[in-house]
């Protein structure tokens, strides 16, 4: 018996009778949905959280993650669950169908995320961060970046992270030292980041890092910071994976809990070979 407890009747009572979430389907963007479809998705999410995600909690805390030679290994059950999570549509339940989403209201995203975090927080940080990174690219990236990265992140083929904190710039992002130097249509990235949740792992073949860096010549402080898409592994024009992108994990934190969620320190461009996309 797992530790995850949820009362589906109470959950649906809140959503249907108190919040009346079915009214969202009257909006033009959700005209193809109805309350019955929302109910079905919530019930399926409860079942997925109980049956697939909840068992990972005990597995993860017992096995943890292993760091060796710059690589982090997670329990094999995590890798299987991550791929199923994306393939079944949970990562992108509320995102644009054009890039692999299911097109449900954002409220459903909140419900799904709450259920999955309740079942196993250490695991769900991985798809949750992937969703956040992909949605940023979906919202602000060029059409080429969207087509290249977002579908593979939404379907569980690739993972994503947020890389903000640095050894000398914790909560003060204005002190960011990571640099970006233009090299044609791309940028050379050089710097270090710390406390990066799921910054290195073997759940996927590629990890897409969203990295805060300062373009050479940019003003000091937060006004000079830009956001770059930095894949762990480069890719070829046909979409296949190529050589590494000079992104190296230098260690993971030793923590009191969440042992199955690696908190990584990352080095970008230590051999002057890291490229990113603005």
64-98 pLDDT per residue, tens? 999 999 999 999 999 999 999 999 999 999 999 99
Answer yes or no: is pLDDT of 272 > 90.
yes
Tokens standing for 216?
């050479």
Domains of the chain with bracketed CATH: 8-158 (1.10.540.10), 159-276 (2.40.110.10)
User: Residues 190, 254: contact at Cβ < 8 Å?
Assistant: no
Tell me the per-residue pLDDT of 225-248, one tens digit each, with 9 for 90 and over. 999 999 999 988 887 899 999 999
Answer yes or no: is pLDDT of 258 > 90.
no
Tell me the per-residue pLDDT of 37-71, one tens digit each, with 9 for 90 and over. 999 999 999 999 999 999 999 999 999 999 999 99
Give the H/E segment covering residue 197.
strand 186-197
CB burial class (10 A; 0-12, 13-18, 19+) of residue 69? Answer: exposed
Question: Considering the chain, what percentage of its residues have pLDDT values greater than 90?
Answer: 88
Answer yes or no: is pLDDT of 130 > 60.
yes
- The 8 Å CB, 24+ separation contacts for 231-236 are 231/149, 231/158, 231/206, 231/207, 232/200, 232/206, 232/207, 232/208, 233/205, 233/206, 233/207, 234/275, 235/148, 235/206
Tell me the per-residue pLDDT of 149-181, one tens digit each, with 9 for 90 and over. 999 999 999 999 999 999 988 778 888 999 999
Q: How far apart are CA 230 and CA 161, in angstroms?
A: 10
Neighbours of 76 (CB within 10 A): 12
Q: How far apart are CA 5 and CA 117, in angstroms?
A: 12
User: Residues 79, 202: contact at Cβ < 8 Å?
Assistant: yes
- What average pLDDT is seen over the chain? 94
């Amino acid at each position: 018996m797992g530790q995850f407890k949820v009362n589906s009747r109470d959950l649906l009572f809140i959503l249907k009778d108190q919040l009346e979430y079915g009214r969202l389907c009257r909006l033009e963007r959700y005209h193809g949905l109805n309350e019955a479809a929302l109910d079905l998705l919530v019930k399926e999410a409860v079942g997925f959280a109980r049956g697939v995600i909840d068992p990972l909690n005990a597995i993860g805390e017992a096995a943890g993650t292993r760091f060796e030679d710059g690589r982090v290994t997670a329990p094999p059950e995590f890798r299987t669950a991550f791929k199923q999570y994306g393939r079944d549509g949970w990562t992108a339940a509320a995102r644009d169908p054009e890039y692999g989403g299911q097109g449900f209201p954002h409220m459903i995203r909140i419900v799904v995320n709450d259920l999955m975090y309740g079942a196993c927080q250490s695991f769900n940080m991985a798809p949750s961060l992937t969703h956040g990174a992909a949605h940023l690219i979906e919202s602000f990236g060029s059409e080429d970046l969207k087509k290249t990265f977002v579908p593979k992140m939404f379907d569980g083929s690739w993972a994503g992270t947020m890389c903000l904190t640095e050894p000398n710039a914790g909560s003060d992002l204005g002190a960011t030292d990571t640099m970006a130097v233009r090299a044609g249509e791309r940028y050379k990235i050089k710097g270090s980041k710390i406390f990066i949740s799921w910054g290195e792992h073997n759940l996927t073949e590629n990890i897409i890092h969203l990295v805060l860096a300062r373009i050479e010549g940019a003003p000091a402080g937060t006004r000079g910071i830009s956001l770059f898409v930095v894949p762990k592994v480069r890719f070829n024009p046909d979409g296949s994976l190529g050589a590494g992108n000079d992104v190296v994990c230098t260690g993971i934190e030793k923590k009191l809990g969440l042992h199955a969620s690696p908190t990584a320190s990352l080095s970008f461009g230590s051999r002057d070979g890291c490229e990113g996309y603005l």
